Amino acid sequence: MTKYKIFYKLSHENGALVNESWDEPLEFELGDGQLDSCLESCVIDAQVGQLQTFLLSASEAFGDEFSEAFQIMPRSDFPQTMTIELDAAVEFKTPIGDSYVGCVDKIDGDDITINFNHPLAGSDVSFQVKILQKQ
């Protein structure tokens, strides 16, 4: 597999910084999971040594937001000691041991709405990348 060393900056459509690696380059191998596949495709298309900006629509980036990914759960499904706050990330384990993370979207009495969409789903993003090394 191809290995890369890059500087990058990922920004939300509203200009808010999502993540960056300008102080220390990110070293990764295609498909190793460190970089989302939509961002890997930009790296593949980028030229070594040039700072390039890719503007990705929601569907090209992290996908559209799906209403089916919002689940209303009773407060009793959560540990009693857990503090439930808006926008807090909560990890859930399936019976077979898989983990899923959702964000608290709404609190309505004992009904807690969890959003299982990717946090950037439904958002256009800007991805700036400079490839330092490609092997």
Question: Residues 53-99: pLDDT tens digits?
Answer: 999 999 999 999 999 999 999 999 999 999 999 999 999 888 898 98
CATH of the domain at 106: 2.40.10.330
The reply to whether 98 and 77 lie within a common domain is yes
Q: In this structure, are 59 and 71 located in the same domain?
A: no
Instruction: Report CA-CA distances (Å) from 115 to 4, 92, 99.
Output: 33, 12, 15
- Same domain, yes or no, for 76 and 54? no
Residues 76 and 103 in one domain: yes
Query: Do 52 and 92 have their domain in common?
Result: no
What does the pLDDT average to over 20-42?
Answer: 94
Residue 125 pLDDT more than 90? Answer: yes
| 96 and 125 together in one domain | no
Q: How far apart are CA 61 and CA 126, in angstroms?
A: 9
Per-residue pLDDT at 93: 87
* pLDDT band, very low/low/confident/very high, at 102 (cuts 50, 70, 90): very high
Burial class for 63, CB neighbours closer than 10 Å (0-12, 13-18, 19+): middle
SS3 category, 117: coil
Instruction: Report how many domains make up the chain.
Output: 2
Residue ranges making up the domain that contains 39:
3-63+121-134
The per-residue b/e assignment along 68-96, b for 16 or more CB within 10 angstroms, e otherwise, is eeeeebeeeebeeeeeeeeeeebeeeeee
